[in-house]
Structure 1
Amino acid sequence: MSQESGARTLISQAQLRRGKGRFVYWTLLTLVVLGFTLAFVGPLYWMVTGALKTGQEIAQTPPTLWPKDPDFSNYTDAWSNLNLAKLLFNTFYYAAGAVLFQLVLDTAAAYALSKLRPILGNVILGAMLATLMIPAIVLVVPQYVTVIDLPFAHVNMLDSPFAIWLPLVANAFNIFLLKRFFDSIPDELMAAAQVDGAGPLRTLWSIILPMSRPILGVVSIFAVTYVWKDFLWPKLVMPSPETRTVSVGIYAFSGGSSMNEIVAASVIAAIPTVVIFLIFQRNIMSGLTAGSVKG
């Protein structure tokens, strides 16, 4: 049996070779691709071109596909009037801290559950995964109560970056993702390291982490994008104008700024995450699929 005849597809190769079958197939494929492209790229296109329009042109119905008189000064006005430099710096700072805390603590937890196998490790992992079934909005109130009065220490962490960093550390999804990758690393490497006299920490640093760069990159990107797009939690725990994130800052200035400036600020705020995705999209896919096949 040839490789072509053994492959199972929705439409057979014989039907694709016929004139009508080939026409129908490529027509449907083109329509589907165009539909998804419009669904994802359409809002981005409206946002970028909307920042070049006047306030009246943005609000008019039906909307124009391209600005009648593009005004690029809206971007510079948004940058200066909304203090985007400070907002972007705050967000970068919070995102970098979130990456550091998650890489250190979540990696340690996943390594312990995967390779050190503590007593009741499966029970602990099951309890962590069970928290994924709880809606995030339900946890806002208890987390906020904890932040304004940290148990035992009795410290108020409002306007402190730890109010954003510490809740992100308890990320069951990232711990599970890291554990699944660590499970795919052969135990023979651990045994060989022990024979050479390496302890658990030395093995983690010299063997496990260098092999885990793809999944560590995925966890880092997830942490950055989560901090960048989050709105409700930073709005609650960062009430001071000096500590706001970019999403909270744009919302705070929206009442006294024109619509085109707000749209331009949204475009500027979205650029870093889009660039990160375009640069690291291959790393994201390879990290998500790494460790899924063993053998």
Structure 2
Amino acid sequence: MSQRSLISDSELQRRPVLYRVVLWSLALLFVALFVFPLYWMVTGAVKTPLELAQPVPTLVPHSWHPETYADAWRKLEIGRYLFNTTFYAIGGWLFQLTVDVAAAYALSKLRPRFGNLVLGGMLASLMLPAAALLVPSYLTVADVPLLHLNLLNTPWALWLPGAANAFNIYVLKRFFDQIPDELLDSAGIDGAGRLRMLWHVVLPLSRPVLAVVSIFAIIGAWKDFLWPLLVLQDPSTQTVSVALSRLAFNGYVTPNEMFAGLAIASIPMVVVFAVFQRSILSGLSAGALKG
């Protein structure tokens, strides 16, 4: 069965060379747009501060100084901030996975009253700009209603506001909808409760979408900057992105050391995406069960 596309099969057969040229040209253009910032960051770290300050930038460094990475690691204390960021990312991932899976399971399989209204409200929250929620969220974590707790400079200020993610809940719910109710009915006949059905039936069948949600949660927590900047004011508790911006603003490091710090901080997420990119694509496109 032929697949529908913008260009018909007959047109492609008449002009195969033109099609390949356009395809490869666009592919190389997008690769250059995404790779060039990384290249500029990595090579900027091995340049001297004088070469970085030149009015005419150099694509290839005139002199190579790879020891800048070691100096940046030691001077910026990147290891400590990477540990903080990893701790926050893992905790945020656990909270997001727990809350989002429970909410999606309830909306998909338990079908509570006004469930569609709740789902619509969650999806409507995606239309709000993130900046509009900063002030109310900050006031909430600074003085938690009823409990009157101050969560600033604690991991809870990052974990609790991001626990319920509307996009993840929607993705999980759509996947849970594809699981036949007959499987849950069979488990119920065998005496399984709702929680046991979730743990032994739904979650094992949902590994692709759980992998996608997990990767999105970890990457989102790792690259977040504005919210940690607001709630983590103590330097000892800051993430690597916030710490590097603070040190750069104070003029504590040279530009090439800052480039080196940024390159080191980006390595974990580049590795995560390179390793799990197939899981991301397959999980997002998963819409049926393989029997």
Measured against the shorter chain, the TM-score band is over 0.9
> The residue matched to 1:167 in structure 2 has which SS?
coil
> The residue matched to 2:126 in structure 1 has which SS?
helix
Matched, 1:22 2:16: yes
Which of 260, 271, 275 is residue 267 of structure 2 equivalent to? Answer: 271
2:179–2:289 CA contact under 8 A, matched in 1 = no
Q: 2:181 corresponds to which residue?
A: 187
The 1:7–1:291 alpha-carbon spacing in structure 2 relative to 1, beyond 3 Å, is: closer
The 1:292–1:65 alpha-carbon spacing in structure 2 relative to 1, beyond 3 Å, is: farther
Instruction: Tell me the number of residue pairs that the alignment of Structure 1 and Structure 2 aligns.
Output: 289
1:184–1:294 CA contact under 8 A, matched in 2 = no
Q: 1:127 corresponds to which residue?
A: 121
Matched, 1:170 2:175: no
Matched, 1:289 2:285: yes
Matched, 1:63 2:57: yes
The 1:49–1:209 alpha-carbon spacing in structure 2 relative to 1, beyond 3 Å, is: same
Q: 1:246 corresponds to which residue?
A: 240
| Counterpart residue type for residue 247 of structure 2 | F
2:93–2:218 CA contact under 8 A, matched in 1 = yes
Map residues 224-243 of structure 1 onto 2, 5 A cutoff.
224-243=218-237
Instruction: State how far apart, in whole Å, the 2-side matches of 1:15 and 1:122 are.
Output: 45
Map residues 102-117 of structure 1 onto 2, 5 A cutoff.
102-117=96-111
| Counterpart residue type for residue 22 of structure 2 | L
CA RMSD between the two structures? 1.7
Instruction: State how far apart, in whole Å, the 2-side matches of 1:151 and 1:9 are.
Output: 54
The 1:244–1:30 alpha-carbon spacing in structure 2 relative to 1, beyond 3 Å, is: same
| Deviation, structure 1 residue 7 | 5.2
| Counterpart residue type for residue 43 of structure 1 | P
| Deviation, structure 1 residue 22 | 2.9
Matched, 1:90 2:84: yes
| Deviation, structure 1 residue 64 | 1.3
| Deviation, structure 1 residue 28 | 1.6
> The residue matched to 1:67 in structure 2 has which SS?
coil
1:55–1:258 CA contact under 8 A, matched in 2 = yes
| Counterpart residue type for residue 229 of structure 1 | K
| Deviation, structure 1 residue 228 | 1.0
Question: Does 206-215 or 21-30 show the bigger shift?
Answer: 21-30
| Counterpart residue type for residue 238 of structure 1 | L
2:175–2:286 CA contact under 8 A, matched in 1 = yes
Q: 1:41 corresponds to which residue?
A: 35
Which of 42, 46, 66 is residue 52 of structure 1 equivalent to? Answer: 46
Which of 181, 184, 203 is residue 197 of structure 2 equivalent to? Answer: 203
2:187–2:197 CA contact under 8 A, matched in 1 = yes
The 1:40–1:292 alpha-carbon spacing in structure 2 relative to 1, beyond 3 Å, is: farther
The 1:153–1:45 alpha-carbon spacing in structure 2 relative to 1, beyond 3 Å, is: same
Instruction: State how far apart, in whole Å, the 1-side matches of 2:6 and 2:120 are.
Output: 38
| Deviation, structure 1 residue 82 | 0.6
Q: 2:139 corresponds to which residue?
A: 145
Instruction: State how far apart, in whole Å, the 1-side matches of 2:88 and 2:79 are.
Output: 14
Instruction: State how far apart, in whole Å, the 1-side matches of 2:164 and 2:9 are.
Output: 50
1:98–1:168 CA contact under 8 A, matched in 2 = yes
| Counterpart residue type for residue 275 of structure 1 | V
| Deviation, structure 1 residue 61 | 3.1
Instruction: State how far apart, in whole Å, the 2-side matches of 1:116 and 1:9 are.
Output: 39
Instruction: State how far apart, in whole Å, the 2-side matches of 1:253 and 1:47 are.
Output: 17
- Residues 211-242 of structure 1 deviation map (CA, whole Å, 9 limit, x = unaligned): 11111111111111111111111011110111
| Deviation, structure 1 residue 291 | 2.1
| Counterpart residue type for residue 246 of structure 1 | V
